[in-house]
Amino acid sequence: MRKLRFPHPLALLVGCILVAAALTWIVPAGQYDRREDPVTGRKVVVAGTYHRVPAHPVGPFDAIVAIPKGMGEAADVVFFVFLIGGALTVVDRTEALRRGAERLVGKLKNRGLVVIPIACLAFVIGGALENMQEEIIALVPILLILTRSLGFDPLTAVAMSLGSAAVGAAFSPVNPFQVGIAQKVAELPLLSGWGFRLALLAVAFAFWTYSTIRYARRTRVAPVIADAIPAASLDAAEAVDDAPAPRRQGLVLAIVLATFAVFVYGVLKLGWDFNQMAALFFVMGVVAGLVGGLGVGRTAEAFVEGFGGMAFAALLIGFARSIYVVLDQGAIVDTMVNAMLVPISHLPVTLAALGMVGLHTLVHVPVPSVSGQAVLTMPLLVPLSDLLGLGRQVTVLAYETGAGLCELLTPTNGALMAILAAAGVRYDDWLRFVLPRYLVLLALGSGAVVLAIAIGLK
């Protein structure tokens, strides 16, 4: 009997777009009133203002038109992926990454498993501090070089990067795009309840890291350096002039490390968005190519090659965004949220809080932006939690658990689909790995919600 397999990621997303278009013909159109919130600087929903509006069904052709519209709306992320992918291909052409990986493997020898907790910790911190996801896409080539040279498969690279970052973001006490916005909307002091969340994050991090190490140990094979490098870069030695290669490669690695240091500072201290980050990595690629001895011509060729290698991942981001474009055009997003909200309002306090976790999980499929979901749902749930006698801090925790953890598996998360594509990991293989771990984390988060109610977390 032929084994059933998931469709190609692009086909899966196109199917989701068509399903979204079909829903606009079935689900009644409606919307909430919105107001400008001076605290968050965003438009937030006004509770109790849901009303029907004229239907806006999206036809088949309009659904297809939504694809380029979605790519346009995600343009800053798409071009960030192109530019950073091109820059890292330039770095790869200098062979600095491969030589660095070889030296690291030589030092680790039989202790390669120590790389996993170190990487998991780094990405958990990235997720906790700035909701790191799209930034990981361009790091995939480096991660593949490292993991394959240590005998780990590509899924391990995704687990210790994207998986760790998603866990860090979901349970973070400081993530400005999740808990930060949610606390602002709920009119709670920023960083309030940080001790409880930090303890929860520590448990989640320990579980995810241990689980990733177990998988990596079980699937480990003989380390292979050459297979970890794209075929086009195996001729990199010919692209470098007669200057001492080790010295040039060391300078290139120093440039890469300095770039990431500036990147972290820019994001955390200067409020950089994807345009500034893309410009930074473009400069890194140019400087690395020239310092690495590629010259202007070969540096430009490497950029073009990198653009091509990231094209599929960038397309997936745009296609995923198109799903929300269709639902928004059909004016059914608010209707779907309202329909899920009504049953929760009639539940006892603890069940209502757990119902909020489920609501956020469901809402995150059509609304894949965690910040967008916060300004959509929190203004509705905060007044409800007040009426139920539920602490606002618990309401925020339910949002983090439901929406944040859903980032691990929903196909509407463009960053997830792009990272899987760049790593060569099938979505169904990822689901088989992540689903049982997601359920454990969901149980952990739900248990934390119940505990927060029991201790009176406000």
**What percent of the chain clears pLDDT 90, i.e. is strictly above it?**
31
pLDDT of 444 > 70? The answer is yes
HEC sequence for the chain? CCCCCCCCHHHHHHHHHHHHHHHHHHCCCEECCEEEECCCCEEEECCCCCEECCCCCCCHHHHHHHHHHHHHHCHHHHHHHHHHHHHHHHHHHCCHHHHHHHHHHHHHHHHHHHHHHHHHHHHHHHHHHHCCCHHHHCCHHHHHHHHHHCCCCHHHHHHHHHHHHHHHHHCCCCCHHHHHHHHHHCCCCCCCCHHHHHHHHHHHHHHHHHHHHHHHHHHCCCCCCHHHCCHHHHHHHHHCCCCCHHHHHHHHHHHHHHHHHHHHHHHHHCCCCHHHHHHHHHHHHHHHHHHCCCHHHHHHHHHHHHHHHHHHHHHHHHHHHHHHHHHHHCCCHHHHHHHHHHHHCCCCHHHHHHHHHHHHHHHCCCCCCHHHHHHHHHHHHHHHHHHHCCCHHHHHHHHHHHHHHHCCCCCCCHHHHHHHHHHCCCHHHHHHHHHHHHHHHHHHHHHHHHHHHHCCCC
Structure confidence at residue 166 (pLDDT): 93
Label residue 3 by pLDDT band (50, 70, 90): low
| Mean of pLDDT over the chain | 84
The Cα 105–Cα 150 span in angstroms is 7
Structure confidence at residue 210 (pLDDT): 96
Structure confidence at residue 241 (pLDDT): 41
Beta bridge partners of 30: 52
Q: What is the mean pLDDT of residues 108-119?
A: 77
pLDDT of 223 > 70? The answer is no
Q: What is the pLDDT of residues 277-301, one digit of tens each?
A: 889 889 999 998 888 888 899 899 9
Domain residue ranges in the chain: 9-48+64-454
pLDDT of 387 > 80? The answer is no
Q: What is the pTM of this model?
A: 0.76
Q: What is the pLDDT of residues 328-377, one digit of tens each?
A: 899 998 898 888 888 888 889 899 999 999 999 998 888 888 888 888 88
**What percent of the chain clears pLDDT 70, i.e. is strictly above it?**
89
Q: What is the pLDDT of residues 249-279, one digit of tens each?
A: 788 888 888 887 887 788 767 877 778 888 9
Structure confidence at residue 227 (pLDDT): 43
Structure confidence at residue 232 (pLDDT): 36
Structure confidence at residue 354 (pLDDT): 94
Q: Are 335 and 30 in contact (CB under 8 A)?
A: yes
Structure confidence at residue 447 (pLDDT): 95
pLDDT of 244 > 60? The answer is no
